[in-house]
């Protein structure tokens, strides 16, 4: 029987790569639901191409357009609640969480509540609410399989030994487009420069996060929750070629890594077929093209975002939610030309510094912290 797959964020970079993977594995995968933020035309086109019985769009104003554009008989839902309802009412064997940002939390949470196997690309939901999602997954029998390439690499490398024998994990980072730039030049970088990632082709928000290295900061928090590791056991190493996707160091000093081309179709497919490994469409590594692999330590002076990630992971509570939301708001302002590039991380730092935390936050506290951080960014401007 084919695996029934629901894709949240189908029109995005990850969503479309997942659909390519699914098309190549058509014998074993059936798409049973798709969602998008506001692009009704693209969602309808994908629904038609993959004969998908149910779709949901977050933007309620796009409901009529979507309903008219999908084949007759397609179930159409709208609004943030519509996405959650789709997750709750669709019999799926696998849910790919690939919405960008904190907006992905409700649907990801719903999939975990349903006890699904969840391929997690939407790292922001874990950064924000890992303290809720991880225990909920255990309670509901849900399985979280990382799709983020570093965390997929660690997930794979962890199979080489016992969890109690892990000394640390090492997240690799390309360093982004400004890896070798001086601080002054980084501070004044343009949107076009920030969107020119050297190795990965991704959606705009994560591409800007890679340029500030907030992406790696978020990934520190993501690894903390996914693998139950304290921040001291999570290191970051710059690796400009993006071929070694991350490493696990065991107590005996052995380092186990996962390598491959920088192509998200590999970790997406691995999550979809786990624990099987099947031939796929991702680019394969050609060693004749690789040349040398470089590794360097990150520079905390030029990339202060990393330390913010560690600080938020150490503090816990609502810190992840605050850090993430402040960054999302700041990135939006940068994209709209309201603040210079250098202000993004400074705003996140400022807002994180002003936040008064609550112990053991529940979902309402986390959502309130997310709202507060976005408002605080406005007040700082
Ligand atoms: P993207 O911007 O290309 O796509 C985002 C998707 O989310 C789209 O389908 C969009 O319609 C939907 N969306 C946007 N706002 C929404 C809202 N308010 N409600 C519901 N849906 C909404 O982003 P992406 O690059 O595909 O990234 C998706 C997630 O995967 C992010 O969390 C990102 O950090 C993570 N990720 C991406 C990559 C990559 O290579 N692109 C790699 C690792 C992790
Ligand atoms: Mg990553």
- pLDDT digit string (tens) for 120-153? 999 999 999 999 999 999 999 999 999 999 999 9
| Order of all β-strands in the sheet with 54-57 | 75-78, 54-57, 29-36, 3-8, 94-97, 117-120, 143-146
Kindly state if the Cβ of 99 falls inside 6 Å of ligand 1.
yes
Q: How many CB atoms lie within 10 A of CB 287?
A: 7
Q: How many whole angstroms from 124 Cα to the centroid of ligand 1?
A: 10
Question: In testing the pocket of ligand 1, which one of 122, 202, 218, 265 has its CB within 8 Å of the most ligand atoms?
Answer: 202
Q: How far apart are CA 79 and CA 350, in angstroms?
A: 32
Predicted TM-score (pTM) of the model is: 0.98
- The domain spans of the chain are 3-146, 163-263+299-315
CA of 277 to the centre of ligand 1 (A): 25
Tell me which ligand sits closest to the C-alpha of residue 58: 1
Q: What is the pLDDT of residue 359?
A: 85
Q: 9, 79, 96, 146: which to mutate for ligand 1, most atoms within 8 A of CB?
A: 9
CATH (one of 1.10.10.60, 3.40.50.300, 3.40.50.720, 1.20.140.10) for 3-146: 3.40.50.720
Ion ligand 2: residues, CB within 5 A, are 148-150
Tell me how far the alpha carbon of residue 173 lies from the centroid of ligand 1, in angstroms: 19
Return the residue whose CA atom lies nearest to atom 4 of ligand 1: 12
Backbone angles phi, psi at 54, to 5 degrees: -145, 140
Whole-number pLDDT of residue 185: 98
Q: What is the pLDDT along the chain (381 residues), one digit of tens a residue?
A: 899 999 999 999 999 999 999 999 999 999 999 999 999 999 999 999 999 999 999 999 999 999 999 999 999 999 999 999 999 999 999 999 999 999 999 999 999 999 999 999 999 999 999 999 999 999 999 999 999 999 999 999 999 999 999 999 999 999 999 999 999 999 999 999 999 999 999 999 999 999 999 999 999 999 999 999 999 999 999 999 999 999 999 999 999 999 999 999 999 999 999 999 999 999 899 999 999 999 999 999 999 999 999 999 999 999 999 999 999 999 999 999 999 999 999 999 999 999 999 889 999 999 999 999 999 999 999
Phi, psi of 76 (to 5 degrees): -125, 125
Q: What pLDDT is stored for residue 292 in this prediction?
A: 94
CA of 329 to the centre of ligand 1 (A): 15
pLDDT in tens, 152-166: 999 999 999 999 999
Say yes or no: CB of residue 122 within 6 Å of ligand 1: yes
Return the residue whose CA atom lies nearest to atom 36 of ligand 1: 121
State if residue 202 touches ligand 1 by the CB under 6 angstroms criterion.
yes
């Amino acid at each position: 029987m084919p695996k029934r797959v629901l894709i949240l964020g189908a029109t995005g970079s990850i969503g479309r790569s997942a659909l390519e993977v699914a098309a190549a594995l058509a014998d074993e995968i059936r798409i049973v639901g798709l969602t998008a933020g506001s692009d009704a035309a693209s969602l309808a086109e994908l629904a038609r191409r993959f004969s998908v019985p149910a779709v949901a769009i977050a933007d309620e104003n796009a409901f009529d357009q979507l309903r008219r554009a999908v084949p007759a008989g397609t179930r159409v839902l709208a609004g943030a609640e519509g996405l959650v309802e789709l997750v709750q009412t669709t019999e799926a064997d696998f849910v790919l969480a690939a919405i960008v940002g904190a907006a992905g939390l409700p649907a990801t949470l719903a999939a975990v509540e349903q006890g699904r196997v969840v391929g997690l690309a939407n790292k922001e939901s874990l950064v924000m609410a890992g303290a809720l999602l991880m225990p909920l997954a255990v309670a509901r029998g849900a399985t979280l399989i990382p799709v983020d390439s570093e965390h997929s690499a660690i997930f794979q490398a962890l199979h080489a030994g016992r969890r109690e024998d892990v000394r640390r994990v090492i997240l690799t980072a390309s360093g982004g487009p400004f890896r070798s730039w001086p601080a002054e030049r980084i501070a004044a970088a343009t949107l076009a420069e920030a969107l020119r990632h050297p190795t990965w082709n991704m959606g705009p928000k994560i591409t800007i996060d890679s340029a500030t290295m907030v992406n790696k900061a978020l990934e520190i928090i993501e690894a903390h929750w996914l693998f139950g590791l304290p921040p001291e056991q999570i290191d970051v190493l710059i690796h400009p070629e993006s071929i070694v996707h991350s490493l696990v160091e065991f107590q005996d000093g052995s380092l186990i890594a996962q390598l491959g081309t920088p192509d998200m179709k590999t970790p997406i497919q691995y999550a979809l077929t786990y624990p099987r490994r099947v031939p796929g469409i991702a680019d394969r590594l050609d060693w004749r093209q690789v040349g040398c692999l470089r590794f360097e330590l990150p520079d905390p002076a030029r990339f202060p975002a990393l330390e913010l990630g560690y600080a938020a992971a150490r503090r816990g509570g609502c810190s992840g939610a605050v850090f993430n939301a402040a960054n999302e708001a700041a990135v939006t302002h940068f994209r709209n030309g309201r603040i210079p590039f250098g202000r993004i991380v400074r705003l996140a730092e400022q807002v994180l510094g002003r936040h008064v935390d609550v112990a053991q936050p529940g979902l309402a506290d986390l959502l309130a912290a997310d709202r507060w951080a976005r408002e605080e960014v406005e007040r700082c401007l």
